[in-house]
Amino acid sequence: MGERRIRVLVGKPGLDGHDRGAKTVASVLRDHGMEIVYTGLHKTPEAIAEIAVQEDVDVVGLSILSGAHMELFPRVREALGARGMEHVLLVGGGIIPKDDIAALEAAGFSKLFGPGTNTDDIANYIKAEMQKRWTKEGADA
């Protein structure tokens, strides 16, 4: 990946007021050399997408514990697409039932992480996925 640093937006959509996990993941990703943009709490899907555009991120990672993931996560994906950001790597985490994980991954989320996931595994997944994308970009150029 050379000197290019992965830019990750960590977002908290909706009314979920718990951000300890999101801040922990953001800190670990930063320790892995990634640039982090943290949106703060209570953002609309549209606001998260707009911040992603303004910050020119490579990855959007969403965190939710409120149970509204099936409503909010697809809205973030749609808002990103409407802004020409359908190419970003979409990941997420939180309290998400297995059936919903499968549905969200089928709808465009690359990977969803549940409670107890080793944070280094999240960072390594993102690095590997971005390496694949950047290698493909170089081959397509």
pLDDT of residue 138: 78
Number of C-alpha atoms within 13 angstroms, CB side, residue 124? 5
Contact (CB, 8 A) for 75 and 107: no
- pTM given for the model: 0.94
Q: Looking at the domain assignment, is residue 1 inside a domain?
A: no
Q: Looking at the domain assignment, is residue 2 inside a domain?
A: no
pLDDT of residue 141: 65
pLDDT of residue 110: 98
Residue 3 pLDDT level (bands cut at 50, 70, 90):
confident
Q: Looking at the domain assignment, is residue 76 inside a domain?
A: yes
Maximum C-alpha span of the chain: 43
Q: What is the rounded distance in angstroms from the CA atom of residue 96 to the CA atom of residue 90?
A: 15
- Domain range spanning residue 65? 7-140
> In total, how many domains does the chain have?
1
Instruction: Look up the CATH number of the domain holding residue 36.
Output: 3.40.50.280
Q: Looking at the domain assignment, is residue 17 inside a domain?
A: yes
Q: Looking at the domain assignment, is residue 120 inside a domain?
A: yes
4-53 confidence digits (pLDDT tens): 899 999 999 999 899 999 999 999 999 999 999 999 999 999 999 999 99
